[in-house]
Amino acid sequence: MIEEVRTGRLVPIRVLPVAPTDLRRLGGGWRFNWVAEAKKTEVLKLIAVEEPDSILGLIAIERKGGFIEVKLLESSPPNVGQGNVFRGIAGSLLAFAARLSFQLGHDGVLILISKTTLVEHYARAYGFVLYQGRQKMILETSASARLVAIYGGEE
């Protein structure tokens, strides 16, 4: 579930594979080239059940031996920074990746390479810790389980 900021209402979500048609109708304001990313990695979209045609967030992942690597993560432009419509999009996408890691027998382990400006945010908000350098971060089993518990599941 994600939360509508203005009302506090919890909104049921789904995370699904992204289709090429989804990416062609994304519109402006997205920071990453998701069309190019979908050609080389697995890209998933987060939608509200009640508005299935509106993509609220995207995550690109790679399934690796022993963990899932988060390649890119982005909330839709209306849900970034001050005045966002929904809260919990990025956390819900990361929780989905963590659940997938558990399902694959990888103990919930996620790896990502953070922008330096987001290292503290990923640590504080989601429980990632630095691993091998200044930007590579890992979400270990216990933190991954907490993330899944906080952000819950899909409808």
Q: Give me the DSSP letters along 40-57.
A: HSEEEEEEETTEEEEEEE
pTM confidence score: 0.95
User: How many Å apart are CA 79 and CA 56, to the nearest integer?
Assistant: 7
Residue 69 contacts residue 106 (beta carbons within 8 Å) = no
Per-position pLDDT tens, the chain of length 155: 999 999 999 999 999 999 999 998 898 899 999 999 999 999 999 999 999 999 999 999 999 999 999 999 999 999 998 889 999 999 999 999 999 999 999 999 999 999 888 999 999 999 999 998 889 999 999 999 999 999 975 54
Structural domain boundaries in the chain: 2-151
Nearest one of 132, 130, 144, 135 to 99, comparing CA atoms:
144
In sequence order, the 6+-apart residues with CB closer than 8 A to the CB of 3 are 9, 10, 11, 86, 87, 88
CATH topology of domain 2-151: Aminopeptidase (3.40.630)
The b-or-e profile of 35-70 (16+ CB within 10 A means b, else e) is eebbeebbbbbbbbeeeeeebbbbbbbeeeeebbbb
Residue 155 has a pLDDT of 46
